[in-house]
Amino acid sequence: MTTTEPALPVSVADTATSNILPGSPYPLGATWDGKGTNFALYSENAAAVELCLFGEDGQETRYPLTEQTAFVWHGYLPAARPGQRYGYRVHGEYAPERGLRFNPNVVLLDPYAKALDGTERFDAGVFGYVPGEEDTVMQPEEQRGAPLGIVIDPGFNWVGDQKPGVPFHRSVIYEAHVKGLTMTHPDVPEALRGTYAGVATEPVLNYLRDLGITAIEFLPVHQHVDDPFLLDKGLTNYWGYSTLSFFAPDVRYSAAARRGDPAGAVPEFKNMVRALHDAGIEVILDVVYNHTAEGNHMGPTLSFKGIDNPTYYRLVAENPRFYFDYTGTGNSLNVRHPQTLQLIMDSLRYWVTDMHVDGFRFDLASTLARGLHEVDQLSGFFTIIHQDPVISRVKLIAEPWDVGEGGYQVGNFPVNWAEWNGIYRDDMRAFWKGEGGLASEIGYRLTGSSDLYQNDGRKPYASINFVTAHDGFTLRDSVTYEHKHNEANGEGNQDGHNHNLTWNCGVEGETDDPEINRLRRQQQRNFLATLLLGQGTPMLLGGDEIGRTQGGNNNAYCQDNPISWYDWQNVDADLLAFTRKLIALRKSHPALHRRKFFSGRTIRGEDVRDIVWLRFDGQEMSDADWNNPQTQSLGMFLDGGGLDDVDAGGQPLHDDHLLLLLSSSYVDLPFRLPELGGCRTWDLLLDTSDDAAEETLDAGQETSLRARSVKLYRCARHP
């Protein structure tokens, strides 16, 4: 193996005079103890490891780590203090045909680095092979394009921080991007826009608090890589699903990093979490443990690939030069290896214990479940999560699919896991699009998808209900476009989903037609009403409540610009008020966020059940109605005395009787209000066709349910 001298001046420390002490194999990473720093790196296949410290001028000092314990290379430097930048050079065989990709010419990022000194620099070199050649040709030139780790002071004043601890069944999740949420907010100081500090400002906190959400689910905040093919087009990986570091908050969203203090991203993130907690809002992170930014065999060598390729990645057994790719990104993490499992668990615990986050949404979680090729819900990953005393107690949400065979696993994750319910999304979109024959599916979705979750020990809140998410159309676009318009992505409009189940209400794109715009406003309210008034855990795509549009782009992953950012200058104030009202209704009525599935049984000898389904003539739906492809309307009666639950103080929960009417028919319907539960009068709480509607009707009277609309009524329960 041949190496070349690096281009920058280097001082290689002699082991006899380097002042490096043996140190400890644990914890992994760089750990400052107030006197010095312990460095520990796992590599079971390396021949030698050098710790590389860098000064402000880029000068490098190398310290060979001669201590090795259970495949962990370690040493202690009394002189290394917070702020010290560092990386590693790892020696060994460069034999891609056997899965080995060691190259000491490449300075590598510590997988356990808690802070990074910047982003990747492709011009400074990031490849273990010679670009333009086969990946079997070892790179002989110095490669310093990977960001360096920074030793941090982990101390932070968490005194007074109280995690909101909102039960899952009372949660309302808000999916947002740290940068997009605040980038154009006029009341956020310009220097803080697009940052963790910007989210922690009072205007943003007040907005989220007034909206009524209980948790914010951030798109990935782990440091990621911007792919060269995007940079060449003047674009970036805005969503961030290309993780480089599982411990470091991305410096791109740090106001401190903009001021020249990249390590300041850590306390800045902590300050944001504390501020959100003070506002009663939990923090959930979208995490990507299924793959990394290093891509396939032709991808860059930034960290894992050069430290111990066979340990961290799933390699093809017959030809370990290549990677199994269940993610569509070039590689899959090797969760079958104990060290990779430890890496993931250490990362999760760190974000809970040190950063105080309240839960995680796991991207392409089916990949993590794979044992050999099949998806196995009893895999080591889920077993260790279930047994962990820290991670098992936070909110765990799976995106229950990947791109591999058998990867669509909605409804199959273990107890204690919630799931993004893609079936809910598709059924609701199809129903409001006007497709028939969906009555039974809508019944299941409105009651927490008991067909998916009731028989495996889980509860209705295991279903994370959503009609829109970051991946796809926004709510406004879903009623404005039937076809994707992704030209700005530079891929010839070939990227993104083609099967969107959306309806443009008669015209593709924006229009001045008042009737079409009225219908679009109503359809947005229909989606929001069914989302927030049904059982399960609702997730709202951030910006949908103010009418955010992406101009028909349904794959804005690379649009770090006004296409993706909130447009705070053009807020749909009426839609925002409607959304706030819906969330308030949901939170004030326990019948709308039950902990248990409906039983359908008679309540304590009464002549009514906890839930009754009705036709528009006020009669109970029959099997024929459920199976009729023409059925496009239904009523859902919820008995306020049939909750079969208690509050936090152990007192029985009761509520008013509620009646939800919905119709996706293109004609108005006369809907007869039922005489159930002793109800004599029904008061209208909400009408998606008229924000200002008021109505009080006697049981047995008819109301006009406008075409494609939702109504919610209440009746005071008489014990």
Catalytic amino acids? Answer: 363, 399
Tokens at residue 85, please?
């930048």
The Cα 610–Cα 331 span in angstroms is 49
Confidence of residue 380 (pLDDT cuts 50, 70, 90): confident
Q: Where does the pLDDT of residue 377 fall: very low under 50, low under 70, confident under 90, or very high at 90 and above? A: low
pLDDT at site 602: 57
Amino acid at 525: R
Query: How far is residue 676 CA from its own chain's centroid?
Result: 41
pLDDT tens-place string over residues 531-559: 999 999 999 999 999 999 999 999 999 99
Q: Is the pLDDT of residue 697 over 80?
A: yes
- What DSSP element (H or E) covers 529? helix 514-532
Is the predicted pLDDT of residue 378 greater than 80, yes or no? no
CA dist 672 and 359 (Å) reads: 44
What pLDDT is recorded for position 1? 36
Of the pLDDT bands very low, low, confident and very high (cuts 50, 70, 90), residue 643 is confident
Q: Tell which CATH classification among 2.40.50.140, 3.40.50.880, 3.40.190.290, 2.60.40.1180 matches the domain 594-715.
A: 2.60.40.1180
Query: Mean pLDDT across the stretch 38-63?
Result: 97
- What would the CATH number be for the domain defined by 29-151? 2.60.40.10
Say if residues 528 and 274 touch (Cβ distance below 8 Å): no
Q: What are 333's strand-pairing partners? A: 313
User: Tokens standing for 98?
Assistant: 């056997």
Instruction: Tell me what the mean pLDDT of segment 336-348 comes to.
Output: 95
Domains 29-151 and 594-715 share a fold: yes
The more confidently predicted of residues 436 and 9 is 436
pLDDT at residue number 409:
80
Among 296-305, 379-388, 584-593, the least confident range = 379-388
Residue 203 contacts residue 187 (beta carbons within 8 Å) = yes
Cα–Cα–Cα angle for 91, 92, 94, rounded to 5 degrees: 115
Lowest mean pLDDT among 103-112, 638-647, 684-693: 638-647
Question: For the residues 651-656, what does the mean pLDDT come to?
Answer: 91
**pTM of the full predicted structure?**
0.95
Answer whether the bond into residue 27 is a cis peptide, omega within 30°.
yes
- Domains of the chain, by residue range, sit at 29-151, 594-715
Q: Mean pLDDT in the chain? A: 93
Mean pLDDT over residues 124-133, rounded? Answer: 97
Q: What is the pLDDT of residue 405?
A: 66
pLDDT at 374 over 80: no
pLDDT tens per residue across span 180-204 = 999 999 999 999 999 999 999 999 9
Q: Is the pLDDT of residue 8 over 60?
A: no
Residue 17 in this model has a pLDDT that exceeds 60: no
Query: Is pLDDT of 4 > 70?
Result: no
Q: Is 70 exposed, middle or buried (0-12, 13-18, 19+ CB in 10 A)?
A: exposed
Instruction: Give the per-residue pLDDT at 601.
Output: 61
Give the pLDDT confidence score for residue 603 in this predicted structure: 46
* CA 420 – CA 360 distance, rounded (Å): 12
